[in-house]
Structure 1
Amino acid sequence: MRTKYVPAAIALAVAAALTLTACGGSDDKAKSPVTDVSADTSNKPGTVLDRPFTKPDFVLTDTQGKKFDFRERTKGRPTLIYFGYTHCPDVCPLTMGNIAVAKKQLPKADQDKLQVVFVTTDPERDTPESLGKWLKALDPAFIGLTGDFPTIQAGARSIGIGIDPATKDKDGKVVSMHGAQVIAFSPKTDQGYVLYGDTTTAEDYTKDLPKIILGENP
């Protein structure tokens, strides 16, 4: 897979003006690319950052109702993080499904090493119980986190992902605007060094995950 190297400063600047995905609504923005860290994104699902993101320092609640210190619990583990919500009809289940398919292609030992974390952008509706049920259908080992929205939003922004509070559209449907990037954290440095967009396929993840497990550039 071809990769591109993007300075973290540029990635953060772009994040400030991020095009967000409108999940669950009829807004035309839902059809737009989620993020564009440079002008050339064709055929490059993985973006290797030359200055990786520091791992978010937040404590949220897992699907068992217990506190989950993200930085501490994922320390030294290859980790993928994604921000979305369970009522999303398209991007979120597709992204998590693609990761689940790719993960199953790994040797069992590597599957056990990889942590996949889904953080809700709609904490008012995504309770630990409902979040756990949704993720279990994809992969029982996936970690689901919820909590207060400001904490979630701040954590997302710290790694260049924009999210807005859930609102209702003109038809009364709840719309959650959120960046649909997946960030991969290296087990060697505990930093987010690879960014994947919403067009990343299961095949792309299947090719890249073995290297992510080792903390290598895909």
Structure 2
Amino acid sequence: MVLHYSPMSQSGLLKVDKVPASLRQQVLLQMRDAIISGHLLPGTRLIERELTDQMGVSRTVVREALRQLEAEHLVEVIPNKGPFVRQLSINEAEDLYRIRAVLHGLAARMCAENITKKHLEILEDALELVIESYSNSSERTLKAKTHFYNALYKGTQSDSLKAMLETLQARIARWRTLGLAHPNRSQERSKESIINLKIIIDAVKRKDADQAESVMFKEDIQAGREVTRLLNIEQSDQKTN
């Protein structure tokens, strides 16, 4: 892999603070974040005993988390071998980004049709954070863009669409991390994304639902192409090594 992250065996990587709230939820969130961020690389075998020792919890809690992560397509269980972090598939990335392009386009349309003055201000502030984040870390950019999209979803005034998109975003998170953190990421793509988001905000402000939808669709298709390009680089490097 081109990206270099800490191996699973690193001490303390998945350590969880034992607070009364919900230990199961803490474990799930910590493991999910380790996979999405790349600390647990695709193909990593997830050994219950090691996870139990690192996190200081019971095997029952770890098993429940693994089952949930399998349902979220982040973990796959291979017969006679056990659970592994799922590999990143080019075909799956293409499918997910096409689906997101359609739903994001609809979200931008509904946002232009339904957004309130208050939500528009939140969306404009979120865009400023995205622009600022590109001069910082990829992690900050990911958080800023997630915040922007969440503001967009709220602007639709549709709880149903918001819930669907949040589920899809969780599924697509690993590819988004790759697209923003990869050392071979195109700088032109970053500039292109900012331009697209500015046009979308302007269209929403003018209540031009057609333009908001079409540019949002284009933005996601372009993002998907960049991710598949980077995945091809990853796979080529793996074959070479």
Q: TM above 0.5, one fold?
A: no
Query: What TM-score do the two structures reach when normalised by structure 1?
Result: 0.32
Q: Which has the higher strand share?
A: 1
Higher relative contact order (CA 8 A, sep 6+): 1
